[in-house]
Amino acid sequence: MQLFYGQINQDRFKLHESEINHCVRVLRKNAGDTIHFITGDGNLYSGTIEIASKREIEGSYTLKEKQWGDVPYDLTIAVAPTKNMDRFEWLIEKSIELGVSRIIPLRCDRSERKVIKDERLFKVALSATKQSLKGRLPIIDPLTSFEDFVAGNLEGTRCIAHCEDTERTAFTEIAPSESLIVLIGPEGDFTPAEVQSAQQAGFTPIHLGQSRLRTETAALTAVSMVYAAHL
């Protein structure tokens, strides 16, 4: 299925400007053609093109399927971006394919990357959402300080994966939850003070197995475990 991204207003739809070139010039869609599109709200729409130009694609639409491609859980991954942004973008792409609902980039004490490009990450997220045939566009938060994150109003089962030589629960022993937040540290791991702060905020210390994992591998492992638990 060829899928596009657009907006709806009452009984009309309009494709996002980033989709127009591919739709008109590459696929040669024109007035009268039917396309499928998402708006990020979780639904799949079918639209009939009535206006097709190099600047806009507009027409009428019908709701085709509600909660299209939704998973039966709400999973948030709060993770420090890697120094190499290609790895972080790869994580976003694969996590969305496996059903993550929200990704919160964290700025921690040992973070090596303290700047991210929100627009670029949105494009990665949108591409992964369309590729994996989902109607709901996951939320990618702006870079957030660790302190602000743990002090926020957090709901659901909360876990923090870290490498400290302290008592930790295997992630496989955490009961699958409809709402889950998993906290993953930077390449240098969380500081002991951050681990303590998270525990005080209700986060359960966990481990993801015996191997020492890279940041992006640890995050994707957690996402994969949740995905598999709900098959």
The two beta strands, 204-207 and 57-65, are: unpaired
Kindly report the CATH number that applies to the domain delimited by 74-229: 3.40.1280.10
- Pick 167 or 67 by higher pLDDT: 67
Residue 30 CB coordination number (10 Å):
12
pLDDT at 175: 65
Q: Does the reported pTM lie above 0.75?
A: yes
The token duo for 203 is 């986060």
Q: Are 82 and 216 in contact (CB under 8 A)?
A: yes
C-alpha span between 156 and 94 (Å, rounded):
23
pLDDT at 164: 82
Same fold, 3-65 and 74-229: no
Q: Are 177 and 156 in contact (CB under 8 A)?
A: yes
Q: Which residues contact 5 (CB under 8 A, 6 or more apart)?
A: 15, 16, 18, 19, 37, 38, 39, 40, 126, 130
pLDDT in tens, 31-57: 999 999 999 999 999 999 999 998 999
pLDDT in tens, 147-205: 999 998 888 899 999 988 788 989 988 766 789 999 999 999 999 999 999 999 999 99
The two beta strands, 139-140 and 102-107, are: parallel
Residue 14 CB coordination number (10 Å):
19
C-alpha span between 126 and 122 (Å, rounded):
6
pLDDT at 61: 97
Q: Are 34 and 61 in contact (CB under 8 A)?
A: no
pLDDT in tens, 113-129: 989 999 999 999 999 99
Domain boundaries, the chain: 3-65, 74-229
Superfamily for 3-65? Hypothetical PUA domain-like; domain 1 (2.40.240.20)
